[in-house]
Structures are given as structure tokens and as C-alpha cells.
Amino acid sequence: MRWFGFGFNAFEQICVHGKVTEDAGSDVKVTCPTELKSHVETSSCCLKKPGEIRASWSRRASLHLDGDSCVCLAGFVTATSVESCGVSGPKTCGCTDAVISEYHLTLTFPGRVEVWDIQKKESTPKWSMEINTQSDHTLKLPLVPGGYITNKPPFYHSLSPCLKAKSLALGAEHALLLCVTGDVYTWGLGSHGQLGHGGLTSEEEPRAVEALCGMPMSSVATGGWHSVCISAGGDLYVWGWNESGQLGLPSQGVRKALQQNQHTQQGNLGQEVKSSEEELQEVEKLKEFFISIQAFPALLDVTPSCEIKAVSCGSRHTAAVTTTGDLYTWGWGEYGQLGHQTLMSSDEPQRVEFFKEQQLRVVEVVCGTWNTFAAAIKEELSCS
Amino acid sequence: MKTSSSVAQLWPQISAALPASEDQFLLLFSDTVESSVLDLLKRSRRHLYSQTSNSSLSLNAQIVLDYSWEKLNTGTWRDVDKEWRRVYSYGCLFKVAALCRGGPSEDELRQAIRTCDMGLLMGAAIMDNILQVIVGILQSQFKKSCEDGDDQGQPEVKRMKTECPLVPVIREELAVPRVKCPSLESFKTNYLLPLKPVVLEGVIDHWPALNQHPWSIDYLRSVAGCRTVPVEVGSRYTDEEWSQTLLTVDEFIDRFISNEAKGLGYLAQHQLFDQIPELKEDIRFPDYCCLGEDDEDHITVNAWFGPGGTVSPLHQDPQQNFLAQVMTPQQHLCQFQTSSRHEHVELANQVEVESPDTQRFPEFSKAPYLECVLQPGDVLFIPVQHWHYIRSLELSFSVSFWWS
């Protein structure tokens, strides 16, 4: 299984910057999926292909979870250290799961969870807590038995056992919980419709998303201000903010940008160009057609007759993997995070052609804030 | 647009406003700002003071802007840490530098002015309000290039809506009293202390806005046309279709004042005079504000500018209010409410003041109210906590002073 990354790379979290200093743009914005290579040749664990990936805005964490498990960090490192792989800083050896943010690396070990400050080089975690891993060892961060861990103090928050939490996704200002029953709960700020209850009000306590009652969900993900979930039948539901087309619904901002781009291209080719005032009026006429906030879950047709297997979100984009091994992306694209070899945003799901062209079958996707990481295997090796 | 010698003067002027060297350009932030972001700010600073290409500076500036923009949109605006607004302003500064360093085109100048405005509107003051200083430099440059390079010339002033609105007749017993130039003592005794509304006449006749630079659409365009301001779109903020957007003053006038606009646009409750000092020079603080406890720095001055038909729904202000009318008449209805608080709120949200549903709100028809039509030069005193409702009859520009 090989991992590929595309999108924001200002901290070399996808690949090392090229020596061509003139083209700073292509260093920072990787528009074409690029295979992840290990950064540190000396450390033996890094030569293993990463099993799992976690990503924040400026970093990427590679999790090696078989045998001598450990976490390797790539991307922004504080001036005091260059190496990763737990030589100093977080001691990750033996960990069972990890989550990374701008400030912290959160690690679970058998019986405890630790939060390390990765802005400073310290030899002990900033915070830790004992957890009862006997009860449920399938829980993934940020869930821990009895509750969940956030990025800021207080780190631990309890969750009612009645909820029977299965998996949890945390956005910039809200939370999306999937229960064992297939029900979905949300809480936090709702001003962008991301709670899915039909309004813009906030919820302090977990509240069931009634619109999805009776339809069991199998997987949930959150972006900065949007929520996504996959039903047991492989359908994708979206709600929240659509200002960059991250819901895959018509977005005024995206259409205006596309028009302006056409405008510039037509101008360059010497073609006759409509006045910007005319174009503006055209877009404004269709105002009722655009969706800026979707406060109730909406079914998104990613691609006809395909089931969605996995989904992940960056702050303002979404990436989904189909059961047939294709990767679709949509939303904000100005850093190349959609992987379509352009810097345009898109309000419609589009297939990342690179994998098809390379005869690679995508099996997993994980998004960082402004980038996307996809795991793929060679097509011939998969069972069709 | 031809590159005139004045454009060559632009970067030296901006450069002179910036710290002389990289060492003197301080980047100090609290722990709220992650070290990764600080790293990018330092990279931008390095690009600014070295000979690297503008594209690197521009790229880093944009990353800073995009990241801080996300922070500005996280949580409620009130809870956004001021540090992120400062970071946003630094992003604007670096972006403006990248746009202006290489002899900017007219389009780049516009973008730079807009970027300064975004920093002034959404950011927080940095480096002695350097964005305000720079936008002043850019505006002078922009005016010069408009004078030099304009081939078509300004299109003739578009016809504005000129139908004469029906000025309502105010019944004697319902009229807000009018007084010409009362002394401080008599204003205090008769109106301020008993909290009675009054229209003061003749107290702003000395304003340049009514004398040396009489405010008109053309004047506003020439002083502030290229500046970006927040505009409310829709009939009133209690409606579903209401929204806010950012437009240049020229665009606002073109779209909502000059032509037959479909909807209403209102430049409302905006501290325009902090953003555009040239306009601030045309107005003065009413003398009567000295009767309050605050000094001038703590008086909030807002602009209210829009076509006929704009509405401020029934509401109260938490401070005393002087509402000065500068351009053309604006109707004003003043409401007294003597009922309980709960009903006040209900009334504010539901009552259509001009045709109140007296069956649902029987108290309303009995509640005494006063009304007036403000002419240019009038100043209405709205006592603190008095409910009021304002509708413009035609093109109107008012300035409000909130004081205690």
C-alpha cells in the first residue's frame, strides 16, 4: 500500500521542496498526487511504509502500528529539532493510536492517554490520564472509554454511556458522533448549519440528528464547518457551510471564481469577453439556486451508481473513496488539495484522475487542514 | 494605464512608512498564535526586506491571510482572539507590499486599496495603524492616476431616483419638539436630564459637510469611491432575505443609489470616519456631548447612508444618541414604551411600526409616540433606551454619535 499526498506543502509535510527557487508556488501547492517518501533515512522505523496517516495544518504524522509501533512526524518542526521519530520530544514507542493538531500530539497507550506539546521539545507529556482499555479496544481517538480528548485544556470530556459512542469527529467549533446503533449526534456551535438540526443555534449537549433517524450511518467526518456521513448503504449525506463548495452543492463563490477564470482565459486568447457587470448580473439572477448554508442533511450524489466506502474532510474540502477504488474530491482547491492539477475550487465532486491513470485503486483517504492523503494499491493485485 | 512617474514614487513612500530594517519590524504575539504561523510571518518579513521575488512574498502573505481568516470565522466574532485579527492585518500588510513593490497597474492598486480596507475592517491595528497610513498613500496615488490616465473620462452623473417622496405631515401633538441652538444648560435641564427627545436646529451649520465641502454623491465618490465598506442588503435586518456584503463606495452607489435597484442596500452602523479620515474632517462632535462623562475618544460615531426606503427596525440604543442629518430628509419615528420588558422585545421583533397589528398588540395604539422628519442640518436627540424606528424618505446620509 502506497500513500500519496497533494495540497498544502509549505512545511514540506508532503514532499521536500525542490531546488528550483523561482517557482515557490509549486513547492507550496502540490497539485498532483505525490508519493510520500520517508524523510529520515537513518531511522529504521521510518523505512517502513506508514500504516496510517494523521495530518494537521503544518504537519503529517505517520503511524506505524505493528510490532514496535511508533509515530513519525513530518512537516513543521520547531527550530530546536530537526529529527522526528521520538528521539526527543514525544516518546511514541508502543502507542496504539495518535491524533495531531497544531499544538499537540495525542497518543493512546494500553491503559493511558497522553497529550504532548509539540511546539516545545519536552521529555514528558503535558497531560495524561489513565483509561480503561479493557472495556473497548476498538475505540479510535478522539474517543477514549468514557469520553473524548480535545485539542485544548481541559483535554478530557466525558460522554454519557447511553450514547454508546462508536466514532467521533471534531470540527473547528462542533462535534459529530456516530453511535453503535447507527444514530448520529451533534453538538457545539451551529452558526454555519453544521449541526444539521435545521437552524443556526448552538447545542451544549449531544442532540440526535433527527433527519437521519431510521437510517443507520456507518462512518462520520467533519471539516472546519461542515459534517459528512456515510450510510450503511453507501450513500453520502452532507450539511453545514458551503462557501467553497465543500458540500458538493452549488456555491456562488465557486461559480464566480470559475467565471472570472474563464474571463481571464478568454481575454488571453483574444476572444470576446462579456463585461464583468453582465456576468455579475447572470450569477445574481441565479441567486436562489446557490446554497451557502445547508442546515439539514442533504443526500449528495457523488457519482451515479457507486457506493462510498470512506470519507474525510479538510477545513473546507471533502474527499471520498468509492467501493470501486476511485477518489472523488470537491470544495476549496486553492492549495491543490483537490488533486486535479489545478488551483480551482469545485462545488461538484470530481474524480482524481491520477489514480485511474496510474492503475491504482484507492483504499483509504485522510485529509489534513489544506491537503489530502490517499492510500492506494496496484489494480492487478486487488480482487475485482 | 501608462506608468507615470508618480507610480515610481509609490513604493518609496510606502517603504518610508515601514520600519527601516528587518530587525526593527517586530512580530510579537501571544501563545495563541502557533509557532508554525509565526514561522510563516517571519518568512514573509524576510522576503519583504530582501530582493526575493514578489511572488514568494505574495504567496506567504496569502497563506497567512487564509489561515487567520479561518480563525476569524471560528466561534463567535466576539470570542475571536485579537491576536488573530492582528495576524490578519500583517497578512494584509505583506500582501499590499507584494502588490505595490513593482510599479503596480491600476488593477493592482485597486486590489491593494481593497486589501488595506479588509485589514481595517476585519483586522486589528498594527504598527501604529500602518494600514491606515498606507491606504492614504494609495488613495492619493489612485486619484493621480485617475486624473492622468483616464481616456474615457468620468461618465456623466447617472440619473438618480428623483421622484419627490411624499413628506408626511406631522401632527402637532405628535411632533418631536424643535429648538434652535439651545444653551448647554437649557438642553441639559429641559431634555437631557428628563430624557426627552428634541430636534436641535442650527447646531451643525458650521460643519464643512454642510458648507465648504457639501456632501453629495459626487463628493463621496471622489473622496471614498475606491474604498471597501460593509453594506446591508435587503429590506431590514429582521427579514430572512437580509445579508451583508462588502462593496466599494462606487459599487454601492452604482448598484443601490444611481440605478433602479431591485433590492435595498444600506451602509448602516459603520464607523466610516475611522476608516476614511477625509470624511471625519467634514464633521464635528456636537457641543452637547461635553455634558456627558466620556471624552471624544469614547464616543462612537457611525455613518448611515442609503437610498430612500431603508429601514432601521424598532430598537433601543444603550447610550444617548445624537443623530445628525447631512443629506436630504429622513423620517424618524420615536416610540415610548411603558410596558414591561418582555413586551418591548416582542414588539421590536414583530411589530410593523407603520401598520401595527393593534389586535395582537392592543397596548401599541395607546402607547404615546412622537415623530419627526429630519432635514439636512437637523440633529435629533434620542435619549438612551428610548425605542425608535427610522425610515429614509429619499437618499439620506446621517451621522450618529453614541455618548454617555
Given B56, B74, B75, which is nearest A24 (Cβ)? Answer: B56
Q: Is B340 on the interface with A (CB under 8 A)?
A: no
**In a shared domain, residues B323 and B384:** yes
Q: Is B107 on the interface with A (CB under 8 A)?
A: no
pTM: 0.88
CB-based contact B55 A28, cutoff 8 Å: no
Q: Is A284 on the interface with B (CB under 8 A)?
A: no
Q: In Å, how far is A356's CA from the nearest CA of chain B?
A: 31
Residues of B in contact with A58 (CB under 8 A): 34, 36
Per-residue pLDDT, B131: 97
CA distances for A303 relative to A212, A231, A320, B202, B382, angstroms: 21, 15, 11, 70, 60
Given A25, A76, A173, which is nearest B36 (Cβ)? Answer: A76
In DSSP terms, A148 is beta-bridged to A143, A157
Q: Is A25 on the interface with B (CB under 8 A)?
A: yes
CB-based contact A224 B74, cutoff 8 Å: yes
Residues of A in contact with B35 (CB under 8 A): 76, 78, 119
Closest CA to B68 of B48, B42, B41, B28: B41
Confirm whether B230 is domain-assigned. Answer: no
User: Nearest chain B Cα to A369, which residue?
Assistant: B67
Parallel, antiparallel or unpaired: strands A346-351 and A327-331: antiparallel
User: Nearest chain B Cα to A332, which residue?
Assistant: B66
Confirm whether B242 is domain-assigned. Answer: no
CB-based contact B40 A224, cutoff 8 Å: no
Per-residue pLDDT, B165: 57
Mutate to test the interface with A, among B29, B35, B83 (most CBs of A within 10 A): B35
Closest CA to A236 of A323, A339, A310: A310
Would you state the torsion angle of the CA atoms of residues B62, B67, B68, B73, taken in this order, to the nearest 10 degrees?
120
User: Nearest chain A Cα to B38, which residue?
Assistant: A78
Per-residue pLDDT, A26: 82
Q: Is A225 on the interface with B (CB under 8 A)?
A: yes
CB–CB of A171/A188 below 8 Å? Answer: yes
Residues of A in contact with B261 (CB under 8 A): none
What is chain A's pLDDT, residue by residue, as a tens digit (384 residues)? 899 999 999 999 999 887 555 567 888 999 999 999 865 544 445 555 668 999 999 999 999 887 778 898 899 985 444 344 444 567 888 899 999 999 999 999 989 999 999 988 888 999 999 988 776 668 899 999 999 999 999 999 999 999 999 999 999 999 999 999 999 999 999 999 999 999 999 999 999 999 999 999 999 999 999 999 999 999 999 999 999 999 999 998 899 888 888 877 777 776 665 565 666 666 566 666 889 999 999 999 998 889 999 999 999 999 999 999 999 999 999 999 999 999 999 999 999 999 999 999 999 999 999 999 999 999 875 555
User: Nearest chain B Cα to A119, which residue?
Assistant: B35
Parallel, antiparallel or unpaired: strands B198-201 and B178-180: parallel
Residues of A in contact with B66 (CB under 8 A): 334, 370
Per-residue pLDDT, A80: 40
Given B39, B59, B70, which is nearest A315 (Cβ)? Answer: B70
CB-based contact A189 B66, cutoff 8 Å: no
Given A102, A173, A315, which is nearest B36 (Cβ)? Answer: A102
Cell numbers 484522475 correspond to A353
ipTM score of the complex? 0.92
Would you state the torsion angle of the CA atoms of residues A135, A138, A142, A144, taken in this order, to the nearest 10 degrees?
10
CB-based contact A225 B73, cutoff 8 Å: yes
Domain range for residue B322?
172-213+279-344+361-403
Q: Where are the alpha helices (DSSP H) in A18-165?
A: 24-28
User: Nearest chain A Cα to B43, which residue?
Assistant: A10
A16: helix, strand or coil: coil
Task: Report, as ranges of residue numbers, the positions in chain B whose pLDDT lies below 50.
Answer: 1-3, 151-162, 336-342, 345-346, 348
CB-based contact A102 B34, cutoff 8 Å: yes
Mutate to test the interface with B, among A313, A315, A337 (most CBs of B within 10 A): A315
Confirm whether B273 is domain-assigned. Answer: no
Interface of B with A in 40-79 (CB under 8 A): 40, 53, 55-56, 59-60, 63, 66-67, 70, 73-76
CA distances for B47 relative to A26, A207, B95, angstroms: 17, 49, 11
Interface of A with B in 115-144 (CB under 8 A): 119
CB-based contact A10 B55, cutoff 8 Å: no
Given B36, B60, B75, which is nearest A57 (Cβ)? Answer: B36
> Sheet containing A371-378: which strands, arranged edge to edge?
A29-35, A2-8, A371-378, A360-367
Q: In Å, how far is A383's CA from the nearest CA of chain B?
A: 42
Residues of B in contact with A370 (CB under 8 A): 66
Q: Is A22 on the interface with B (CB under 8 A)?
A: yes
CB-based contact B55 A24, cutoff 8 Å: yes
User: Nearest chain A Cα to B40, which residue?
Assistant: A10
CB-based contact A10 B63, cutoff 8 Å: yes
Closest CA to B337 of B365, B374, B371, B372: B365
**In a shared domain, residues B124 and B184:** no
Confirm whether B252 is domain-assigned. Answer: no
Q: In Å, how far is A119's CA from the nearest CA of chain B?
A: 7
CATH code of the domain containing B178: 2.60.120.650
CB-hemisphere CA count at 13 Å for B142? 23
CB-based contact B75 A225, cutoff 8 Å: no
Confirm whether B58 is domain-assigned. Answer: yes
**In a shared domain, residues B118 and B177:** no
Overall number of domains in chain B: 2
DSSP-derived letter for residue B290 is G
Every domain of chain A and the residues it spans: 252-285
Domain termination site, one of B147, B164, B194: B147
Interface of B with A in 7-46 (CB under 8 A): 34-36, 39-40
Mutate to test the interface with B, among A73, A81, A102 (most CBs of B within 10 A): A102
Confirm whether B159 is domain-assigned. Answer: no
CB-based contact A78 B35, cutoff 8 Å: yes
In DSSP terms, B180 is beta-bridged to B201
Q: In Å, how far is A104's CA from the nearest CA of chain B?
A: 11
Confirm whether B99 is domain-assigned. Answer: yes
Confirm whether B236 is domain-assigned. Answer: no
**In a shared domain, residues B92 and B186:** no
Per-residue pLDDT, B261: 65
Residue B15: count of CB within 10 angstroms of its CB: 14
Per-residue pLDDT, B110: 94
